[in-house]
Amino acid sequence: MAKSSRRSGHRANQLLAALEPEDFAVLEPHLETVRLVKGTVVYETGDRMPFVYFPQDAVVSLVTVLADGKTVEMAVLGREALFGLTSALATYRSLGRYVVQVTGTASSLDTAALRRVFEARPAVRELCLQFVEALLAQALQSMACNNLFGSGTLLGSGALRH
């Protein structure tokens, strides 16, 4: 029988799994596993973000709410991701609405603790910033495609919701 390569616990998140053991060991005491339930708004636009989340098997959407009440999905975040980092780095406020799309678990971490870990373990900071850079690149690519082809051609993307 083949072994499953799927990890459990905090290391189910691919960013946490990518950390070197000594970096993860500094971060792990600050991590807490939480359950995220479908439909829950974790953060609303402008909310203070006291925690950073590393989804394990939950899926969360970052959406922008338009003036007419419609929402535009900006990102889908699963076990390859984290969210709440803007609070740990700069603004302390949510840049959009984070809504749980698939019930599951995530590792949560107090933003103040993450800032301390960033100072002590630069490799942790670097990995998180690499994720943010990849997310920004994805958003820029999506905007370019929408501009060239129109949002109507993004079949199945779920980009515009009513």
Residue 61 domain flag: yes
* pLDDT bracket for residue 7 (50, 70, 90): low
**pLDDT given at position 92:** 82
Residue 79 domain flag: yes
Residue 129 domain flag: yes
Residue 90 domain flag: yes
Residue 3 domain flag: no
Which CATH number do you get for residue 129? 2.60.120.10
Residue 1 domain flag: no
pLDDT tens for 75-122 read: 899 999 999 987 667 888 898 999 999 999 999 999 999 999 999 999
- Burial bucket for residue 114 (CB in 10 Å: 0-12, 13-18, 19+): buried
Provide the residue range defining the domain that includes 22.
10-146
pTM given for the model: 0.82
pLDDT tens for 93-106 read: 898 999 999 999 99
Residue 160 domain flag: no
* pLDDT bracket for residue 1 (50, 70, 90): very low
pLDDT tens for 9-51 read: 999 999 999 999 999 999 999 999 999 999 999 999 999 999 9
Report how many domains make up the chain: 1
On the question of pLDDT at 162 being above 70, the answer is no
Residue 151 domain flag: no
